[in-house]
Amino acid sequence: MQSQKMLDEQGRLDAPRLFLLKITLLDSKPAIWRRFAVKGDITLFKLHNIIQRAMGWENFHLHEFIINKVRYGEVGDDFDFGPPLISDKRTLLQDVISRAKTKFRYIYDFGDDWQHEILVEKIMLPEAKQLYPYRLDGARACPPEDCGGVWGYEHLLDIINNPNHPESEESREWLGEGFDPEAFDLAAVNKKLARFK
């Protein structure tokens, strides 16, 4: 798919627009979310990798985007039984999203079924000296991989918050020392995103 050329107010070819995205893990209460900025000329596959780092996932599982009822992901996946996928490695963000306030879906790990809503908060010109992607904000720690989805994560938190629960010690050990579901480290995530700049 070829990139659409964008024009500025004077009708001149312009640099790729900046997309300010807010991604929220659906059904997480209180919400687990991240806000970051990317240029529109990245592929959806690169956006997937940025989301992995911004959210805190480990990229162990399959993923897909659903935009205007069209599925984008890794073409050729032997476990894909739905409607045909369009390659996310050949699709640019700016070619499938053209307006602010658009929402689309990102799904990670079809077993745990981590459903994310992505809101395009703004589309604007990038700042000349800022490197992108750039992380701006967020809340709460990412759930660990393979914990059973949102409901499994909530159950896990109930267990570790009850020192009398028979699985409390084992669950804390599995999560790792110092795991804090309320923790949010902006500097650490920006460091992870730096490899894409």
**43 and 76, same domain (yes or no):** yes
What CATH number does the domain containing 70 carry? Answer: 3.10.290.30
Per-residue pLDDT tens for 22-71? 999 999 999 999 999 999 999 999 999 999 999 999 999 999 999 999 99
Average pLDDT over residues 156-180: 86
Average pLDDT, the chain: 86
**53 and 126, same domain (yes or no):** yes
- For residue 146, the enclosing domain spans 142-181
**Total tally of structural domains belonging to the chain:** 2
Q: How far is it, in rounded angstroms, from Cα 137 to Cα 59?
A: 21
Q: How is residue 188 written in tokens?
A: 């650490």
**113 and 34, same domain (yes or no):** yes
Contacts of 112 (CB under 8 A, 6+ apart): 61, 145, 146, 147, 148, 149, 152
Give how far Cα 69 sits from Cα of 64, 84, 105, 126, Å: 12, 11, 9, 29
Checking if the pLDDT of 121 tops 60, the result is: yes
Checking if the pLDDT of 79 tops 90, the result is: no
Per-residue pLDDT tens for 124-167? 988 877 777 877 799 999 999 999 999 999 999 999 888 888 88
pLDDT score for 81: 65
**30 and 110, same domain (yes or no):** yes
**120 and 163, same domain (yes or no):** no
